[in-house]
Amino acid sequence: MESRKGFHLLIVASALMWGSSFPLIKVTLDLVNPYFLTAMRMLIAGVIGLVFVVAFSHVAIFKEKAIWVLAALNALGYGLQHVGMQFALASESALLINVNVIFVAILAAYLLGEKITVWKALALALGVGGILILTTGGDLSFFASERLLGQSVLIASGFSWAVFIVLMKRLLDTHGIVDVSMAVVAETALILSPLLAFYPSAGIALEGWAGILYLGVVCTALALFVYLIGLRRVGATTSSILLTAEVLFAIILSVLFLSEQITAPLLLGGLLVMLAIILVSWNRKTTPR
């Protein structure tokens, strides 16, 4: 039997690329408007996705209405992430956005008829508890603070990707995963491109452009492509568990490069959320973001 260790490493590599996006977004947002960042990041990734579809797939896939719905959800998810991260730490942003795994379990029960097992119910309880600790820090006065807006936007971003994943699972019954993913990236860019007219690029420093380029090429297009290669040879359950390393990488990089502090609420809340993600991932199939 051929060893799958190399394909496991590809999944972990994609998790590292996605995890690195959180501290980089935080830095880039000091230099770039969040709406321009969203549009330009996806434009760069979209061009790569378009080239891939034209060269290796069927352009007819762009006529699928479901692809446009997925692209709209993807655009919303990235937009909410970039806006919300203006008001939250990179490390906690990674945790809050990745609660989409828990949302998927709930939505799949209603839309796909998947059963909510005892383990999924436990994961939901752990996830909700972890989110409360992460967002409030144990201080209920947080609900009257301005940070609540940023935290709520990030959770909404995770929810939009949860809907995206559930709808994607339906579409993949009749379409190839690579074709759909690359087409969605290209159409996401088209949906977001009008933002570039309202938020011009004049005055953006070289560091800002470097951040946008890295996010578009590495954290969006390349990360997805590497993940898909690994997913073909690794079970969906195993890949989803390996992808939880994304949060770990995001926290480590945020501590190293942004000097973010690992506080007790972050540690406890993050542990509960990670346990919830692993419990849900253990018994369900996932699709890439």
The answer to whether the CB of 288 falls within 8 A of the CB of 228 is yes
Closest CA to 282 of 84, 102, 130, 148: 102
Domain presence at residue 288:
no
pLDDT at 143 over 60: no
Closest CA to 266 of 287, 279, 252: 252
Domain presence at residue 245:
yes
Give the chain's domain count.
Answer: 1
pLDDT at 70 over 80: yes
Domain presence at residue 221:
yes
Domain presence at residue 289:
no
Q: For residue 280, what pLDDT band results from cuts at 50, 70 and 90? A: low
What pLDDT score was predicted for residue 286? 45
Rounded to 10°, the helix 100-111/264-282 angle is 30
> What value does the mean pLDDT take over residues 69-88?
94
The answer to whether the CB of 85 falls within 8 A of the CB of 22 is yes
Q: Name the percent of the chain in helix, strand, coil, to the closest 5.
A: 80, 0, 20
Domain encompassing residue 231: 5-282
pLDDT at 58 over 90: no
Output phi, psi for 104, to 5 deg: -60, -40
pLDDT in tens, 166-195: 888 778 777 777 788 888 899 999 999 999
pLDDT at 1 over 50: no
What pLDDT score was predicted for residue 285? 47
pLDDT in tens, 86-142: 988 898 888 888 877 778 777 777 776 767 677 777 877 887 777 777 666 656 555
pLDDT in tens, 216-246: 999 999 998 888 788 777 765 566 667 778 8
The answer to whether the CB of 49 falls within 8 A of the CB of 182 is yes
Rounded to 10°, the helix 34-56/177-192 angle is 140
Residue whose structure tokens are 């979209």: 46
Give every CB contact of residue 194 below 8 A, 6+ residues apart in sequence.
39
Give percent above pLDDT 70 in the chain.
84
Domain presence at residue 98:
yes
What pLDDT score was predicted for residue 189? 95
> What value does the mean pLDDT take over residues 31-48?
95
- pTM listed for this prediction: 0.84
Closest CA to 221 of 178, 278, 284: 178
